[in-house]
Amino acid sequence: MKCAWLVVLIFAILSLLTGCAPKPATDTGPTPNVDTPQSSGLAPEAAQTFTIGMSQCNRGEPWRVQMDEDIKTAAAEHPELEVLFKDAQNKTEQQQAQVREFIAQGVDLIIISPKEALPLTKPVDEAMAANIPVIVLDRKIEGDNYTCFIGGDNVLIGREAGKYMVELLGGKGKVVELQGLATSTPAGERHKGFMEGIEGSEIEIIFSADCQWLEPNAQREMNSALSRFEQIDAVYAHNDPSAHGAYQAAKQEGKGREKTIKFIGIDALPHEGVKYVEEGILAATFQYPTGGREAIEVALKILAGEKVPKNITLGTRKFTPDNVKSGGEEIPAPEG
Amino acid sequence: MRFLGRHRGIAALVAVFILGCIVSPRNLRTGEIVFLTPGNQSNVLFEYSEYGLLAVGMTLVILTAGIDLSVGSVLGFIATLFSFLIIAKGVSLGPAVLICIIAGCGIGATNGLLVAKLRIQPFVATLAMMVAARGAAKLVSGGIKIAHGARPWYILQDAPPRVFEWMTAPYAGGWLRPVTLLFLVTIILAALIVRYTRFGRYLYAVGGNEEAARLSGVDVARTKILAYLISGITAALAGISSACRMGYGDPEAGATFELDAIAAVVIGGSSLMGGRGGVMLTLIGTLIIGYVNKILSLIGWQEAQRLLAKGVIIVLAVVIQETRRRRV
């Protein structure tokens, strides 16, 4: 018996710590909004406050930490907004539960950056059925039962990187491509865009490897490329950590090749890519926008009852040593 | 043939090396076999020094029939802690290294106490530590990489710490990178300890037959705690190496490294059941993994084939080990 009490006590402490008391019904399915009177109140008054639920698929990646950060900063400018952040820790079931928790809590709007499309479509449907508008960020869900999708355009970013590479090398040179996880769509799109960007030039990709977005892998692959090729003019890396890894490899080789090879990265996080450009490590980085700030702008419009476009494609910003001090150069997304 | 039978690890290493020479691409201008170039050879040692350091500590733990799943996360934690101390707090090198080693000792000793005194399964105890250490890494770093200039209040802002550069700079054509030396010196020290000290003999005794060891007067708990403690220290050294090699402390560093470290130990020929193996075998295992990865990287194979090839090689290594055990 003592043992059972101990278990109950531990459970009670744990639920206090995690801020969620034991719920009697976790799988109530499609009728979770019984006790959520404010969720249907879409017509706001001036002094009203709004609660936004933000479900992030994981906070392990710096880019996603930045997305939360952008949302927080943008929301801080609007005292009427309160944002509740949840981290699904890369678990789809957990993210499903989070959306349902937000519905049960009766938030006024949900922002979700989904881990997977199909399994999260149903919870989003449920939110829409409960009259809670949903903004989908970065990755899509199935169908079109959501209020607004906001996302970056990887093909555009890859194409801009390719064009800049042509400009940087004068239309001719030998390039190493350090890919992200080859099976992931962003890597495929960043590659496709880049090939479009260098089309018609005499730029040749002499070595290409799957680095799975990871810097240690990029560093190793670059070592192989360096020992194989005496002439490498530039490196196109699918993300900034990989570009930095390639730079480290060239520097640690000790032949001073880090000074002659041009490194281009993608993502442009303030503490990462942009900083590398400022330090002269990268020749350029292209922002993959998190959409956090835009999500809050769109949320405000939705909450004010305005109409918003169904899909918003974000442009990119180019950061080079010339413009990095002034915040980069904006490249808008093509219309349509 | 008997020599090869007894030294299967070395035979496998030689086989992999020859394979590397055969399939390696040639330098387009000089016609050199790229795989054989000194630069490439020193790169393998340099790139796998972190895995190697982890594998050294892992060998000692596995000799006692234990396992240490926490080493990868400890590497990440120490990498962030070391960077935090130096870059954010401006602590000088000596104290920073000392604090990191002490932290590694503390983690290792905790693992050892959980296993030896509280009798928790090594797998479970170190799994818990693996999760907790990753949490600690994220706590120290606030979720971002600890690099110069990443936060406005960091003391060191304009360039990476000098020690980072110094630890990775190539001397003598790349053969004397301090990170590589740290690995080699550690592995030699560990090999000497295991071979020539009483503690070393106890490791085999505990792993071979714990009850018999206890009855013959071996302090089993102390031996185990010391093995995990050393594993904590080598993980701390690997963490410092990681920070230097990357130029910052990454809270995600070392993820899944524990599996590669275990693989290096097993491929080297030490038994997961404990009591059989050795530190120098682990060096061979690390080199085999390093060479295989380097060959696949040099010839530019895609990830899918690489993973398959690695799987096959690990199975082969274990099969060779099994046949030997049956024969003995």
Cross-chain CB nearest to B303 (options A182, A228, A244): A182
Computed over every residue of chain A, the mean pLDDT equals 86
Q: Which residue of A has its CA nearest to B242?
A: A216
Cβ atoms of A28 and B107 within 8 Å: the answer is no
pTM, entire model: 0.81
Interface test with A, best of B144, B165, B305 (most A CBs within 10 A): B144
Q: Which residue of A has its CA nearest to B159?
A: A279
Q: Decide if B245 and A207 are in contact by the 8 Å CB cutoff.
A: no
Computed over every residue of chain B, the mean pLDDT equals 89
Cβ atoms of A109 and A53 within 8 Å: the answer is yes
Cβ atoms of B204 and B146 within 8 Å: the answer is no
Cross-chain CB nearest to B144 (options A209, A216, A271): A271
Q: What is the pLDDT of residues B18-69, one digit of tens each?
A: 888 888 888 777 778 888 888 888 889 988 999 999 999 999 999 999 999 9
d(C-alpha B62, C-alpha B43), whole Å = 28
CB atoms within 10 A of CB A143: 11
Give φ, ψ of B92 to 5 degrees.
-80, 165
pLDDT of residue A12: 55
pLDDT of residue B328: 46
Three-state secondary structure of A81-150: EEEEEEECCCCHHHHHHHHHHHHHHCCCEEEEECCCHHHHHHHHHHHHHCCCCEEEECCCCCCCCCCEEE
3-state helix, strand, coil in chain B (%, to 5): 75, 0, 25
Choose among A60, A248, A67, A219: nearest CA to B141: A60
Rg (CA), chain A: 23
Cβ atoms of B135 and B74 within 8 Å: the answer is no
Q: What is the pLDDT of residues A262-300, one digit of tens each?
A: 999 999 998 899 999 999 999 999 999 999 999 999 999
Find all residues with CB under 8 Å of A194, minimum gap 6, and list them. A158, A159, A161, A162, A165, A177, A236
Residue A308 pLDDT greater than 80, yes or no: yes
Q: What is the pLDDT of residues B196-248, one digit of tens each?
A: 999 999 999 999 999 999 999 999 999 999 999 999 999 999 999 999 988 89
ipTM of the complex: 0.75
d(C-alpha B325, C-alpha A313), whole Å = 62
Cross-chain CB nearest to B40 (options A227, A229, A252): A227
Residue carrying the six token digits 């990268």: A282
Cβ atoms of B63 and B199 within 8 Å: the answer is no
Interface test with A, best of B141, B252, B289, B294 (most A CBs within 10 A): B252
Q: Looking at chain B, how many residues does it have?
A: 328
Share of chain A above pLDDT 90, in %: 66
Between residues A176 and A22, the one the model is more confident about? A176
Q: What is the pLDDT of residues B163-173, one digit of tens each?
A: 998 888 888 76
Region B288-306: what's the mean pLDDT? 85
Cβ atoms of B278 and B270 within 8 Å: the answer is yes
The pLDDT confidence band at residue A2, using thresholds 50, 70 and 90, is low
